[in-house]
């Protein structure tokens, strides 16, 4: 991965630490490992961000930030990748997760009289909950592992190419 390009687009650690809304947790942001751009930190951050993108909770960014702090991964990358699931993409992503979960469980996916209301979700939670959660777990795992492997391979390919250029 192009380290200089990533550093150009990632926010500065000092800018984030000085943010007044983050003052209660500023001591957690002091760790320099959260801001490193190296193969381990970036690939772990990609894993965390992609995994959290498919977790069906309203605080995906907070979950990704806590995981990045816990696993000492790059904080901005892990939080930024959560936005793959945004208001425009959440519907198709979670519908695919539901269909995948239903297929894996061997049940017929059925959504009757769908309505965008909290009552509809409460009434149908028992019927769609298991396939939906299984599909979200499988999608989270597959995308996270794929992203991790791709970042590792791209990073290694770039390093090998730089070695070969130096050698010649």
| Residue 37 pLDDT | 79
* Residue keyed to tokens 């000492």: 72
Q: What is the pLDDT of residue 153?
A: 95
**Interacting residues of 166 by C-beta distance below 8 A, sequence separation 6+:** none
DSSP letters, 70-119, are HHT--HHHHHHHGGGS-TTTHHHHHHHHHHHHHHHHT------S--SSHH
Q: What is the largest CA-CA distance in the chain?
A: 67
Q: What is the dihedral of CA 149, 154, 158, 160, to 10 degrees?
A: 40
What are the structural domain ranges in the chain?
3-167
Neighbour tally for 114: CB within 10 Å: 9
Residues sharing a CB contact under 8 Å with residue 50, sequence separation 6 or more, in sequence order: 81, 84, 140, 143, 144, 146, 147
pLDDT in tens, the chain (168 residues): 465 666 555 565 555 555 555 555 555 555 656 677 788 999 999 999 999 999 988 889 889 988 998 998 988 889 899 999 988 998 899 889 999 999 999 988 777 676 667 777 777 777 888 899 999 999 999 999 999 999 999 999 988 998 999 888
Give the per-residue pLDDT at 63. Answer: 93
Instruction: Tell me the CB-side half-sphere exposure of residue 21, using CA atoms within 13 A.
Output: 1
pLDDT at residue 152, as a whole number: 95
């Amino acid at each position: 991965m192009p380290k200089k390009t990533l550093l150009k687009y990632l926010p500065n650690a000092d800018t984030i630490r000085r943010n007044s809304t983050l003052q209660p947790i500023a001591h957690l942001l002091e760790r320099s490992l959260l801001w490193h751009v190296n193969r381990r930190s970036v690939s772990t951050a990609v894993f965390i961000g992609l995994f959290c993108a498919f977790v069906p909770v309203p605080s995906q960014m907070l979950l990704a930030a806590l995981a990045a702090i816990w696993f000492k991964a790059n904080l901005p990358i892990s939080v930024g990748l959560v936005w793959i699931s945004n208001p425009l993409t959440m519907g198709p992503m979670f519908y695919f997760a539901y269909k995948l979960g239903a297929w894996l469980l061997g049940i017929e996916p059925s959504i009757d009289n769908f309505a965008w209301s909290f009552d509809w979700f409460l009434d149908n939670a028992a019927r769609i909950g298991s396939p939906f959660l299984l599909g979200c777990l499988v999608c989270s795992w597959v995308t996270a592992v794929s992203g991790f492997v791709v970042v590792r391979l791209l990073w290694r390919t770039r390093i090998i190419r730089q070695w070969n250029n130096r050698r010649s």
